[in-house]
Amino acid sequence: MAISKPPLGRLLRFPRNSSLSQILMYLGFAITLSFVLIALFAPLLQSWGWIQNPTDSLVNPIHQPPSGKYWFGTSRQGYDVFSRSLFGAQAALQVVLLATALSMMIGVPLGMLSGYLGGNVDKIFLFFMDSIYTLPGLLLSVTLAFVVGRGILNAAIAISIAYIPQYYRVVRNHTVSVKTELFIEAAQAMGANTWQVLTKYLFFNVIQSVPVLFTLNAADAILVLGGLGFLGLGLPEETPEWGYDLKLALEALPTGIWWTTLFPGLAMTIMVVGLSLLGEGLNEFVNPKLRRQNSIRK
């Protein structure tokens, strides 16, 4: 029995009438790719001496405004703001990718299993997932961060818990609708067990929305990580992270020291916007109903 998969061409082209969506998606992809490259090459630039070590406190240029020597100025602690802004992308991507991957690896299999088995198993999973889903994501992450402590992996775990129900609900709903299709019944009639049905026949038919959810959750996770860093609960102290740098810069803001808050905040905002544009573009891409509605409006 052949597995129904979305054609590859559908993932690589937009309808002719969706030029605006295409532009926004490509813009989001370009922004996201830029931050990925920054995160990858920041250590190399630092080893070549092109940028300062983000954890080194410079001796004299404390609170120096942006200049030819220090492009984004220096902070109250003597840090080079430009260097820390670049390395902040590295910390953000590490935590965000880990958090979204963890939530996806847990939520997707549970959603498939719950939707396919149904009955009491489905009710139990729904109860626990709905209980988690009703809690505010940031509050849940802050509470868990108190428990697990600081660090890349710990911050990712604290953030990921809030996203598991989202993957679970999306995949479970798709599974419930797909499991009644004729090709699933045929596979069962030919003796396919639960594992074979889930992996060979259901998986590729219920994950179309997962990439969209992944990018949107990644955008939200950056803000959550920034909130944890601002509260001093994210990464270890002095680690270049945008939320933590905003916390350090807050005291200097009333004195007119604007650059220590502007550049980390701007970097966080641009990355969130890029991921959001990418996610919204993918959403229109994989959702035929949404594409048809946009075509009708035009």
SS3 sequence, 78-138? CCEHHHHHHHHHHHHHHHHHHHHHHHHHHHHHHHHHHHHHCHHHHHHHHHHHHHHHCCCHH
Residues 6+ apart with CB under 8 A from 232: 244, 247
List helix spans (H) across 152-258.
Answer: 152-160, 164-178, 182-189, 194-196, 203-206, 210-230, 242-250
How much is the pTM? 0.85
**pLDDT per position as a tens digit, 89-102:** 999 999 999 999 99
**pLDDT per position as a tens digit, 13-54:** 544 555 677 788 899 999 999 999 999 999 998 888 888 888
Place of tokens 């959550």: 224
- Residue 182 pairs with which residues in a beta bridge? none
Domains detected in the chain = 20-47+77-297 (1.10.3720.10)
Does the pLDDT at position 2 exceed 70? no
**pLDDT per position as a tens digit, 228-245:** 999 988 898 888 999 999
